Chains A and B, each alone.
Chain A
Amino acid sequence: MHELGIVMNVVEQVDKIAADNKALKVAGITMEIGEVSTIVPELFLDAFNWAKKRTEYLKEAELEMIIIEGRTYCRACGETYRTTEFGKKCPHCGSPDTYLLTGDQVIIKDISAVFEQEEAEE
């Protein structure tokens, strides 16, 4: 249940941001999750829905996950390819001299928070 540790991290961070910004509550969180980040989105969502009940501001928050495709760059031929399909070895030239460009991120992109309406200025 490796997702739970990361979820706890996320809800604690967002709860603090909501408090710091004097929000009433958090309605939604958008996260970017890389395809090769080792997070299983379904498990992550389950863990989130469990964890949010134990927070101050996130009790009604909805989680949206944007999945980011894993792309690997080959130093030998300069091509890029889809990581989940070919792994470490470049399908264009066969070289293992490659590195991950994107797809391992776990990012809190934004949160939508509910505030008390400010008085309209005269």
Chain B
Amino acid sequence: MQQVKTILLSKSVFEDNDARAEILRSELREKRVCLVNVMSSPGSGKTTLLVALINALKHSFNIGVMEADIDSDKDAVTVAEKTGVRSIQLHTGGMCHLDADMTRQGLSELGEGLNLIFLENVGNLVCPAEYDTGATVNMVILSVPEGNDKPLKYPLVFENSELAVITKTDALPYFDFDMDECKEYIKIRNPKASVIAVSAKTGDNMDELVNWFIRRLSER
């Protein structure tokens, strides 16, 4: 004979991951490691921006990079070649995001002795925002060609990011991109967010971004 019983759960799907992320975050804090989770659409120029940022910061910090992609190790090779910092590729095996466990595995693969680690999440504005990686800083990149209304279309990633970087400002003359409106939309989603507009290609305003990181790292 068989019987059917109901097991009550009322449990958020993200609860387990959130708990694991919180543990990872406090471990990183104890070790004085700052983990930066970089989120954006595909093609926003994440890798180019990271290369410029790392080259400006690498003499002050011990930097490591984890590149997450569904497949291929192109980004990890590019970053390693152009910056010389320790860089590994994480494959998500078809998944559109990284979770706290995958991040932890990547960190142990990357090794000890680093104090600033960039995690380049999968190019996607939806899923990475839902899965807490355990990062110290969540950063979102929005490039000029994508349009200034992205913060309205993908609210969560902007709500969860303390730093929003608008990239490819060198392309402003060629696009109908309203910078003031964009900043306003980001502030609607997250009034506390820092918003910095740069061009990694020309180096325009990169100083402000570099200084933001120096300031943020001194707060640890």
Which residues of A are in contact with B by a Cβ distance under 8 Å?
1-2, 4-6, 8-10, 13, 17, 21, 24, 27, 38, 87-88, 96, 104-118
- B residues near A21, Cβ cutoff 8 Å: 7
User: Does B12 contact A106, Cβ atoms closer than 8 Å?
Assistant: yes
Contact of B4 among A6, A8, A112 (CB under 8 A): A112
User: Does B5 contact A107, Cβ atoms closer than 8 Å?
Assistant: no
User: Does A6 contact B2, Cβ atoms closer than 8 Å?
Assistant: no
Q: How far is the CB of B98 from chain A (nearest CB, A)?
A: 10
User: Does B6 contact A110, Cβ atoms closer than 8 Å?
Assistant: yes
Contact of A115 among B2, B9, B189 (CB under 8 A): B2
18 new A-B contacts, CB < 8 A, other than A24-B2, A107-B13, A114-B2, are: A2-B126, A5-B127, A6-B13, A9-B13, A9-B17, A13-B11, A17-B9, A21-B7, A27-B4, A88-B155, A105-B12, A110-B7, A110-B8, A111-B6, A111-B9, A115-B2, A115-B4, A117-B2
Does residue B176 face the partner (Cβ distance < 8 Å to A)?
no
Q: How many A-B residue pairs have CB under 8 A?
A: 82
User: Does A107 contact B11, Cβ atoms closer than 8 Å?
Assistant: yes
User: Does B11 contact A108, Cβ atoms closer than 8 Å?
Assistant: yes
Q: How far is the CB of B185 from chain A (nearest CB, A)?
A: 9
User: Does B13 contact A113, Cβ atoms closer than 8 Å?
Assistant: no
- A residues near B16, Cβ cutoff 8 Å: 13
Instruction: Give Cα distance in the complex from A17 to B13, angstroms.
Output: 13
Known: A2-B96, A5-B127. A114 touches B13 (CB 8 A): no
Report whether over half of chain B's contact residues are helix, strand or loop; otherwise say mixed. mixed
Instruction: Give Cα distance in the complex from A44 to B1, angstroms.
Output: 33
Does residue B202 face the partner (Cβ distance < 8 Å to A)?
no
Q: How far is the CB of B127 from chain A (nearest CB, A)?
A: 5
- A residues near B13, Cβ cutoff 8 Å: 6, 9-10, 13, 106-108
- A residues near B188, Cβ cutoff 8 Å: 88, 96
Q: How far is the CB of B118 from chain A (nearest CB, A)?
A: 22
User: Does A115 contact B5, Cβ atoms closer than 8 Å?
Assistant: yes
Does residue B149 face the partner (Cβ distance < 8 Å to A)?
no
- A residues near B156, Cβ cutoff 8 Å: 38, 104
- A residues near B4, Cβ cutoff 8 Å: 27, 112-115
Most buried by B among A4, A107, A112, A114: A107
User: Does A5 contact B97, Cβ atoms closer than 8 Å?
Assistant: yes
- B residues near A114, Cβ cutoff 8 Å: 2-4
Instruction: Give Cα distance in the complex from A88 to B124, angstroms.
Output: 22
- B residues near A110, Cβ cutoff 8 Å: 6-10
- A residues near B130, Cβ cutoff 8 Å: 6, 38
Type the 1/0 row for B147-164, where 1 means its CB is closer than 8 Å to any CB of A: 000001001100000000
- Contact residues of B between 127 and 170, Cβ < 8 Å to A: 127, 130-131, 152, 155-156
Q: How far is the CB of B163 from chain A (nearest CB, A)?
A: 21
- B residues near A104, Cβ cutoff 8 Å: 156
Instruction: Give Cα distance in the complex from A4 to B17, angstroms.
Output: 16
Does residue B77 face the partner (Cβ distance < 8 Å to A)?
no
Does residue B23 face the partner (Cβ distance < 8 Å to A)?
no
- B residues near A112, Cβ cutoff 8 Å: 4-7
Instruction: Give Cα distance in the complex from A96 to B185, angstroms.
Output: 10
Known: A5-B95, A6-B13, A24-B2. A111 touches B7 (CB 8 A): yes
